[in-house]
Each structure stands twice: as C-alpha cells, then as structure tokens.
C-alpha cells in the first residue's frame, strides 16, 4: 500500500514537467539539446528504465541496448527532420514509459536481440519527437546535445542498477519499474 502511494505521489509530482514536446522554448542549440531530455518525465523515465532493464539480462544487453537506443533515436530524429510524418508519437512515447516500467518491475530477462528491437522501437519515437521540434538551422548542435544527455540518462540507469546489487536492491529496482509504469499511465491520462 505504501509503495502504491509513493508511486502515485511520484506520478503527480512529475505530471507538470511531463509535457516535453510542447514546442515551448528554443530547440536550436547544443544547450537546449542537453536540457531537453531532462525537461520531461517521459524522457527521464524511459531512458533510465532502458538502463535498468538491461541489467536483468546480461552484460551484452548493458552495452547493446543503450547503444541501440541512441542510434535508433538519431534515426527517428533524422526521419522527423526530413519531414516524415508519424501519427501517435506522443502516445507511443507514453506507452514506452509504461512498458519499460513493467519490464523492469517484473524483471523480464529478454533475449538481447529482442530487447534491442523493443528498445529501438521506443527510441525511434523519442527521436522523432526531438526532430519534430528542432529548428532546421541548427540540427547538428541540438542533436549532439540531446544525444549526450540521453547517453547520460542511460548511464544513470545502468549505474543505479549496479549500485544496488543485493536482494533489497533488486526489490528497489522492481519497485522503481512499477513507479515508472504508473508515471507512464499518468502521462497517457493527460
């Protein structure tokens, strides 16, 4: 019961900054690219969950899944920058938070390739959202900034998981995944 209340409180606290794709503010510089992934619960949660989820599989996943996320995110960014329209990007991003949270909460040990496909699918939508917002004049500095920030968030997820390598830590990781799923559901609800 306490865990449920903590998750609800966390979700409520993160709702206001969760709308990272409102088009508010400049998105045309390196610094705005660095700031963007830290500006919303959707990015913060999804990227740290990828890092945490990779720990449930094996050492190859710890390297491959974050690298896949960054590479495919840049592909989604390029697709949006070139004008490829994709429907339901925001909903897909919210569902990525929910599903990654659930995968962490139940400790799914996916095959490395399957996990990379799942992570890549989610990353494409995150990257597309970045590309839709970017000012065409400064795509490269903005992309470099959000790539650096995304890599940092992925590393934070992996690092946090390595720091709590005990039975209590595993329970904490799973509880974090549950909270992430609640945050994602809150984002879906608006």
Per-residue pLDDT tens over the stretch 167-185: 667 788 888 899 999 999 9
**What's the pLDDT at 13?**
47
Residue 4: both structure tokens together = 């449920």
Token couple for 189: 């609800």
Mean pLDDT along residues 98-108: 94
Answer yes or no: is 162 within a domain: yes
Domain annotation covers residue 180 = yes
Q: Beta-strand (E) ranges in 2-157?
A: none
13 falls within a domain? no
- Specify the pLDDT at position 27: 67
The answer to whether the beta carbons of residues 123 and 76 sit under 8 Å apart is yes
What pLDDT was estimated at residue 118? 97
Total tally of structural domains belonging to the chain: 1
Domain contains 6: no
7 inside domain: no
Q: Is residue 177 part of a domain?
A: yes
> Minimal CA–CA distance to 96: which of 71, 127, 61, 67?
127
| Residues composing the chain | 190
8 Å CB contact between 107 and 189: no
Asked whether 37 and 130 are in contact (CB, 8 A), the reply is: no
Q: Is residue 87 part of a domain?
A: yes
Domain that holds residue 148: 27-188
Write out the H or E segment, with its range, that includes residue 9.
Answer: helix 2-15
Any domain includes 155: yes
Between CA 164 and CA 14 the distance in angstroms is 24
Structural tokens at position 10: 């966390």
Rounded to 10 degrees, the C-alpha dihedral 71/76/80/83 comes to: 100
pLDDT at 134 over 60: yes
123-144 burial string, b = 16+ CB within 10 Å, else e?
Answer: bbbbbbbbbbbbeeebbebbbe
């Amino acid at each position: 019961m306490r865990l449920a209340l903590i998750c609800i409180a966390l979700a409520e606290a993160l709702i206001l900054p969760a709308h990272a794709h409102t088009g508010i503010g400049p998105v045309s510089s390196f610094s705005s690219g660095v700031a963007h992934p830290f500006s919303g619960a959707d990015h913060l949660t999804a990227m740290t969950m990828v890092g945490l989820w990779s720990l449930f599989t094996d050492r190859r996943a710890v390297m491959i899944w974050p690298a896949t996320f960054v590479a495919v995110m840049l592909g989604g960014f390029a697709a949006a920058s070139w004008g490829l329209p994709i429907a339901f990007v925001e909903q897909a991003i919210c569902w990525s938070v929910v599903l990654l949270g659930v995968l962490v909460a139940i400790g799914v040990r996916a095959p490395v390739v399957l996990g990379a496909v799942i992570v890549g699918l989610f990353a494409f939508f995150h990257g597309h959202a970045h590309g839709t917002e970017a000012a065409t004049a400064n795509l490269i500095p903005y992309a470099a900034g959000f790539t650096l920030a995304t890599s940092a968030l992925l590393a934070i997820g992996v690092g946090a998981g390595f720091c709590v390598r005990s039975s209590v830590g595993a329970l904490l990781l799973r509880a974090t995944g549950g909270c992430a799923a609640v945050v994602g559901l809150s984002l879906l609800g608006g």
